[in-house]
Amino acid sequence: MSLNLEQQLSVVSETIDELKGEDIVTLKVLDQSADIEAIVIATGRSVQHVRGIANNIKIEAKRLGMKVSGVEGTETGHWVLVDLAEVVVHIMTEKTREFYKLERLWSGAEND
């Protein structure tokens, strides 16, 4: 079973929401990137919270047959990236998110 982009984004957002992740932003970047269709950015309250959210996204994605291309950043836990091929998920602590301002980098992207 293959999930379309909207279904994948829904799975990711619901998983983050269930674990009380904060400030979830979805950016559709297909016009700006040949490799990915969307980016999801969310904030965790602590390093452990960031790691937990990222881990649950990976588990849920695999359970639903989504491709998990990789997970990076779990060592430090301030910024964990979950690569789901078409969707890339960034879970960060509040300080890290404020510092890097990823939303600004993709400011031309379509917000959902």
Q: How many domains does the chain have?
A: 1
Q: Which residues of the chain have pLDDT under 50?
A: none
pLDDT tens, position by position, 78-109:
999 999 999 999 999 999 999 999 888 876 65
pTM of the full structure: 0.91
pLDDT of residue 24: 96
pLDDT of residue 34: 72
Closest by alpha carbon to 78, among 64, 94, 61, 58? 94
pLDDT of residue 63: 95
> Which domain covers residue 19, as residue numbers?
5-111
| Residue 2 burial by Cβ neighbours in a 10 Å radius (0-12, 13-18, 19+) | exposed
Q: What is the CATH number of the domain that holds 88?
A: 3.30.460.10
